[in-house]
Amino acid sequence: MTTPLITLRDPASAAAEAYRTLRTNIQFSSLDRPLKTLLVTSTAPDENRSITLANLAVTMAQAEQRVLMVDCDLRRPSLHTIFGLPNEPGLTSAILEQGAGELPIQATDVPGLSLLASGPLPPRPADLLGSRRMSTLLERLHASADIVLIDTPPVVAVTDAAVLAPKTDGVLLVLQAGHTRRDRAREARQILEKVKAHIIGVVLNNARLEGGYSY
């Protein structure tokens, strides 16, 4: 089966190079403020947020970082599907058990890249993500990787990303060219700023390539 990850399928492509540029920009943005946990969100479900996070994670692992992806989309998780891994046990299992035992982190086929899947889907995701148990779990995850990338549902649609954002070091907002509405993008920014999230930047998907360049 063909992987949806352009950084693995065609590493010499312009899109793969764009992800490597994004990785570099994130590294430079955190020179004065260490970035150990990065939350990735969007304004709508169909803006390729999870694919963006997955490709960014691959490029970071290829730069010899220990990268942990955490699927905090407890409504429509997809990272396990992208990497061909089981979804249970996962994040919710670890929160509910609240033990000091080994976390159900899974290795991917990419060296240095691992995943904590969502686990069983709870009835009230926002309550779980905003809990003290989640804060305690994040502290444990800090020690298991150089950077933790957190996938969350769209910030405009539900409160999950907003309650989790203040617990992280930075937020990356994913938009889609020709699709994301300007008012939704502004609303997403306002929601994140209201909870005092540290927005490090925006990723624009499906932007047209400028002609005349081969790289």
Does any domain span residue 170? yes
Residue 15 lies in a domain: no
| End-to-end Cα separation, the chain, in angstroms | 28
Mean pLDDT of the chain: 91
The pLDDT of residue 145 is 94
Residue 213 covered by a domain:
no
> What is each CA distance from 31 to 24, 36, 74, 166, 176, in whole angstroms?
11, 12, 32, 20, 28
Q: What burial letters (b/e) apply to 150-159, b meaning 16+ CB within 10 Å?
A: bbbbbbbbbb
Q: Has residue 174 been placed in a domain?
A: yes
In a domain, 7, yes or no: no
Which amino acid, one-letter code, is at 158?
A: V
- Where residue 133 sits, what CATH number does that domain have? 3.40.50.300
Q: Extract the tokens encoding 89.
A: 């046990």
Name which residue leads in pLDDT, 58 or 34.
58
Instruction: List the domain range (segments joined by +) for residue 198.
Output: 34-205
Structural element, H or E, at residue 171: strand 170-176
Mean pLDDT of 128-146: 91
Asked if the structure places residue 182 within a domain, the reply is yes
Residue 41 lies in a domain: yes
pLDDT of residue 1: 57
Residue 31 banded pLDDT, cuts 50, 70, 90: confident
User: Do residues 149 and 40 touch, judged by C-beta distance below 8 A?
Assistant: yes
What's residue 213's pLDDT? 39
DSSP string covering 117-167, please?
Answer: ---SPPS-HHHHHTSHHHHHHHHHHHTT-SEEEEE---TTT-SHHHHHGGG
- What's the average model confidence in pLDDT over 115-142? 93
Tens digits of residue pLDDT in 81-113: 999 999 999 999 999 887 667 899 999 999 999
More confident residue, 55 or 212: 55
In a domain, 84, yes or no: yes
